Amino acid sequence: MNIRGWFGYNGSIPDSLTNNTLDKLLELYYTALTQYFSAPETTNINQMIQHLRDTNLNTDRKRFLEWMIETGASQLKDIAATELPYHDQIIAKLEYDYYILGEEMDFDYPEDVRSTLIGIACQLPEYFKGCIETCSTLSITYHDNSSESEWLSDVSLTDILESNDIYDREYLDYEKQEIIYTVSNSEGANQISSLFFVT
């Protein structure tokens, strides 16, 4: 099953550690959500909601379903549609939420499961926004032995941290918040470049 598709996003997302960690959390979220409602297997969240509308739910489940209809489903779709940059804090947050939700999967306290599901859906979009804005706050300098080269102007922190081919990261200096790397342009010429970032 395409887990992001189940939550309403049918586009493509690059394969990366951060995106895969989010996928893992969404898969557990799906499992917890369907178990909480005792819902049958469905092709997407809207189909599940439609099924539950025709089901005799208790008061707590009805209220949660109403929240899902009014707010939750759209927030979860936005989460599923998010292409995440590499960011240690995002990965740590996703792994923490996965751990907390996983600890509640025995359903001894269904209200705790419900609270965690609502918290994940409400908190992650703002958390992602803050971290992505941080990753975008970059000041890039580059040079070669002759003159400045404009072809490198679109490089991002994600490119440097995640690329396995064109970028060769020399070292990452957290104290100076600087990445020193080499990169080869289309003509094969190497350049030594530095990228300053804000954390």
Q: Domain ends where: 86, 117, 135?
A: 135
Shared domain for 179 and 85, answered yes or no, is: no
Shared domain for 141 and 131, answered yes or no, is: no
Shared domain for 107 and 14, answered yes or no, is: yes
Shared domain for 56 and 118, answered yes or no, is: yes
Which residues are CB-neighbours of 81 under 8 A, at least 6 positions away? 4, 8, 9, 11
Q: Domain ends where: 115, 135, 155?
A: 135
Shared domain for 26 and 47, answered yes or no, is: yes
CB 90 within 8 A of CB 25: no
Q: Domain ends where: 135, 152, 176?
A: 135
Shared domain for 93 and 105, answered yes or no, is: yes
pLDDT, one tens digit for every residue, the chain (199 residues): 899 999 999 999 999 999 999 999 999 999 999 999 999 999 999 999 999 999 999 999 999 999 999 999 999 999 999 988 888 889 999 999 999 999 999 999 999 999 999 999 999 998 888 877 766 554 344 434 433 333 333 444 455 445 444 334 343 443 434 444 444 444 444 444 444 443 3
- Element (DSSP H or E) covering residue 120: helix 110-136
Shared domain for 66 and 120, answered yes or no, is: yes
Shared domain for 11 and 40, answered yes or no, is: yes
Compute the distance between CA of residue 182 and CA of residue 5 in angstroms, rounded to an integer: 38
The parent domain of residue 192 ranges over: 137-197
Domain count within the chain: 2
Shared domain for 44 and 65, answered yes or no, is: yes
Q: What is the pLDDT of residue 181?
A: 43
Q: What is the pLDDT of residue 87?
A: 83
Q: What are phi and psi of 77, to 5 degrees?
A: -65, -40
